[in-house]
Amino acid sequence: MTLDAQASDISSLPSLVSDLLDRGDPSNIALISPEGPVLTYHSLKCQVESLAGQLNSFGIGRGDRVAIVLPNGVENIVSFLAVTASGATAAPLNPAYTREEFVFCLEDVHSKAVITSSSVSDAIKEAIPEQTIDVRVGINSAGKIRFLNRNKNGFPVMKEQIGSEDIALVLHTSGTTCRPKLVPISHRNLMNGAKNVAETYDLGHEDVSLCVMPLFHIHGLVASTLATIFSGGVVVVPSKFNALDFWSTVEAHHVTWYTAVPTIHQALLHRAQRKAGSRAISVARKNLRFIRSCSAPFSPDALIDMEETFGVPVLEAYGMTEAAHQVASTPMTGKRVPGSVGIGTGVSIAIMDKYGNFELPGVTGEVVIKGGNVTLGYEDNPEANESCFTNGWFRTGDQGVMDSGGYLRLVGRLKEIIIRSGENISPREIDETLLAHPAVTEAVAFAVPNSTHGEEPSAAVVVSVPIKASELVAFCREHLASYKCPKIIHIVDEIPRTATGKIQRRMVSASLA
């Protein structure tokens, strides 16, 4: 089955990331740091243009790669915008990386420069090659941001004209099963991605987004930030997520929505439910228009629980780096399908078999997509490009099924499907079964090698009250076919996650081996 995207109004689509700075009223606030400065759209544009000129003066120009190693904050967003405005390509990296991870990433993206702060870690200091332009970002009490070329490498370059197909951003995929792939994302991809999010949720200049996702991840960069700027709204960007002051930040800045992974939602939900008449609930109901969940599965029961607690719609979305984030979402109004990630949002979606044939509604297969937000291919990886593209459709690697109305339900990653004696078992089905038990707060199923069946399902869970693993195994047997039931369930204090809150089943399996 295919679901084609509606034609976009190209005339309303900015060509370049820097064009976003003209979409807000110059006198309106664009960025707020609870710990620091507040920038209007006028101030933001002036600073970005000035900083882009500084980068050109350092010898950074069109096509150059600039790594950004900064915590969340106004400086991070402004640095990203300045890099793309200079004609260069931004490569945001996780500040918590080890020296070895920095060395790999800087080499893999062919970084000509690195932007860091005075509080930079020893790991990145030691990883920056001697010939790389070492840029430090600083901000004064008036909110004025400046760059400093610390090692004086590079010679000034003239700013070159760039177009919508120039690469604005490069990010690595998560690399769950192999070496991470490098995803080049053009200005056109990013603008389509931002537009898709803004239109899905009817974002406007009166909306205020609270960015709690890291800005080195496509989720925080596009959904929280660029989509909000696209709409002329306000981005509130604290240095990190903190459940203790989350609701005071929402109240102080009149936040109307936020987007996050289920881990963050559950942390907020559990804190609110522990206190009768929680202030969090009243603040949410007074301020929030909706809550968005993306980048990891959110169980239907937990989603409904969150909606009932905070009194606002919780909308699940489906996104990925290769699509400049959003692919599908539960719509703001209209039909809602429990367990579904909604319908395509400016993206054509299809279900395809391994031979490239489209499947009928209700038939499970691989989710494939195409649209203006989708990358044209991985960098320097012809093998991956050959296997990941079929007749112009990008193969996501996700297994899913669509109903006749175009609502998509994800089953799991194709490479994570458990194959027991030839039977395909969806680990997500086991996850959802375990999460239905009142004692289980988190669950992740995975494959373990078995000499008889090839693979057997196993699982790890976090529980809220003491319970025996054998009771959970028995619960699974009541709700699943016998071949799908995990024989061993590990009760753990926490489930390992990536820096962006994703669960990688192979990582969990390896940690328990």
Question: What DSSP letter does each residue of 82-115 carry, written as one string?
Answer: HHHHTT-EEEE--TT--HHHHHHHHHHTTEEEEE
- CATH 2.30.40.10 for the 417-512 domain, yes or no: no
**Domain range summary for the chain, segments of one domain joined by +:** 417-512
The number of angstroms, rounded, from the C-alpha of 476 to the middle of its chain's C-alpha atoms is 31
Which ranges in 414-483 belong to alpha helices (H)?
427-435, 469-479
Question: How much is the pTM?
Answer: 0.86
Sequential pLDDT tens for the chain (513 residues): 666 664 444 347 999 999 999 999 999 999 999 988 999 999 999 999 999 999 999 999 999 999 999 999 999 999 999 999 999 999 999 998 889 889 999 999 999 999 999 888 899 999 999 999 999 999 987 889 999 999 999 999 998 999 999 999 999 986 444 568 999 999 999 999 999 999 999 999 999 999 999 999 999 999 999 999 999 999 999 999 999 999 999 999 999 999 998 889 989 998 998 876 689 999 999 999 999 999 888 888 889 999 999 999 999 999 999 999 999 999 999 888 988 999 999 999 999 999 999 999 999 999 999 999 999 999 999 999 999 999 999 999 999 999 999 999 998 888 788 878 767 788 888 998 999 999 999 999 998 888 777 788 999 999 999 999 999 999 999 988 888 999 999 999 999 887 767 777 878 888 886
Please give the structure tokens belonging to residue 449: 């090698």
Angle of CA points 388, 102, 225, to nearest 5°:
65
| Cα 306 from Cα 299, distance rounded (Å) | 11
Helix/strand/coil (H/E/C) assignment for every residue in 204-237: CCCCEEEECCCCCCHHHHHHHHHHHHHCCCEEEC
| Cα 52 from Cα 372, distance rounded (Å) | 26
| Cα 300 from Cα 293, distance rounded (Å) | 12
In angstroms, the Cα distances linking 309 to 86, 229, 268, 273, 304 are 46, 30, 11, 8, 9
| Cα 293 from Cα 307, distance rounded (Å) | 12
| Cα 493 from Cα 441, distance rounded (Å) | 11
| Cα 138 from Cα 117, distance rounded (Å) | 7
| Cα 278 from Cα 474, distance rounded (Å) | 36
What's 341's DSSP letter? -
